[in-house]
A = this chain, B = another copy of it.
């Protein structure tokens, strides 16, 4: 296997996403298989949704490495579970770096198919954040992403930077790098300074008057 720099980031990101899924699965007393599936879905759910919307064969069906990396993540949680907590910050960095890469991959794939930029930015966001949403649905919780931190919005920030660099005729590599770094930077700032979006104010009777 010819490991490139991009591959390494991809695997680190997959690993960190899978670990985040398995941590939550273990809190719900999932068995090993369930934890593996939740970890896998966290890691590949966003890219799979993107590929289905773009009518492409899901990326993980073309290359077994994502299943293998998720397998290593499971072994890590089973045998070195205590380090998962101690390495919390390390995993956060891996997760942010992975997110930056996933967003850029999502944008690139969409532009290559000839879709306009706003679709590409959406697909970047979907690639980065839908895995976490499916994870939360599987563990039967309200998706965290809708209530806490800046996460999907960091993906959109990356998309906007991508667009700006593109319009400024930056080289593809520079454009991708700036976009990925802006995602990572936004995530780190948001978490470090507890920046989040305002909550949508519920008017008193909203809850009572639920309708279909």
Which residues of chain B come closer than 8 Å to A84, judged between CB atoms?
Answer: 203, 206
Which residues of chain B come closer than 8 Å to A52, judged between CB atoms?
Answer: 52-53
B212:A31 contact, CB within 8 angstroms: no
Give the interface size bracket for A toward B: 35 or more
- Given known pairs A32-B198, A200-B22, the reply for A142 and B140 (CB within 8 Å) is yes
Which residues of chain B come closer than 8 Å to A24, judged between CB atoms?
Answer: 206, 210
Give the interface of A toward B (CB within 8 A).
20, 22-35, 37-38, 48, 52-53, 55, 57-58, 61, 64, 67, 77-78, 81-82, 84-85, 88, 92, 95, 115-116, 118-119, 122, 132-133, 137-149, 151-153, 196-207, 209-212
- Given known pairs A32-B197, A55-B55, A92-B211, the reply for A27 and B206 (CB within 8 Å) is yes
Interchain CA distance A151-B141 in the complex, whole Å: 23
Which residues of chain B come closer than 8 Å to A27, judged between CB atoms?
Answer: 202, 206-207, 210
**Could you tell me the distance in whole angstroms from the C-beta of A145 to the nearest C-beta in chain B?**
5
A/B interface sample: 16 pairs, CB < 8 A? A23-B209, A25-B146, A29-B147, A30-B146, A30-B199, A31-B200, A33-B152, A33-B153, A37-B152, A38-B146, A67-B118, A67-B122, A78-B201, A133-B138, A138-B142, A139-B142
Q: How many copies does the complex hold?
A: 3
Interchain CA distance A207-B23 in the complex, whole Å: 8
B200:A77 contact, CB within 8 angstroms: yes
Which residues of chain B come closer than 8 Å to A153, judged between CB atoms?
Answer: 33
